[in-house]
Chain A
């Protein structure tokens, strides 16, 4: 059973950055892409981007281009999602979600990390 353990809740001021981590329990960390999705309070799911943990290659949603950076640390089986220039509209729960391959359903999800942006 794959487990994705995310970092704890963060509170940030407008203009700051937030960095969320997602640690995978599996030995095959580099074999599976990882997506990031967010959910604003009471709203639906919004795709942010994807990282290939093996190569580090990333694809970001156009909306977040220039503000998001996804990285990975293969030694700890952890991926990171950093979002900069935060506004109140970035207040949301951020999820990592694993896929078996490109163009695959999101079969395992982290528990979510609440990022709150407030002055």
Chain B
């Protein structure tokens, strides 16, 4: 099983600032099989990024993903009020599909 470790656990930032979230895998993940999700309280997760760097339908271009192998990054260029949420990384390269523990982006 591929274990995904996200850091930091919590990120305290102000609107307009840049957010950089990291996810490290315990073994190499094919770049075509890595995703990021956003989850707000009381809601289901929403797909943001797939194939490590492709934005899902309707996702603003302030969200970008990068990385390969064991290290992946989600960047939010300028935080909007609606971006404060929990973010999860996921690999779907091998079963079981695993998720990271999440990074909470909170308002400073």
Contact = CB atoms under 8 A, between A and B. Distances in A.
Q: Give the 3 A-B CB pairs with smallest separation, nearest first.
A: A109-B44, A105-B50, A45-B99
A45 B92 contact: no
A61 B99 contact: no
Q: Which of A50, A61, A104, A106 has the most CB of B within 10 A?
A: A106
Interface size class of A (residues with CB under 8 A): 20 to 34
Nearest to B34: A105
Interface of B: 33, 35, 37, 44-47, 50-51, 56, 88, 90, 92-93, 95-102
Given A44-B88, A47-B99, A61-B96, 10 more contacts: A45-B88, A45-B102, A47-B96, A50-B95, A95-B44, A103-B92, A103-B93, A104-B50, A107-B47, A109-B46
Contacts of A11: none
Interface secondary structure of B, over-half rule: loop
15 contacts: A44-B88, A44-B100, A44-B102, A45-B37, A45-B45, A45-B99, A47-B98, A47-B99, A99-B92, A105-B90, A106-B35, A106-B37, A109-B45, A109-B46, A110-B44
A51 B98 CA distance: 16
Interface of A: 35, 37, 44-47, 50, 59, 61-62, 95, 99, 103-107, 109-112
B65 to A, nearest CB: 11
Given A44-B88, A45-B45, A45-B88, A107 B56 contact: yes
Contacts of B37: 45, 106
B56 A35 contact: no
Contacts of A50: 95
Contacts of A62: 96
Contacts of B93: 103
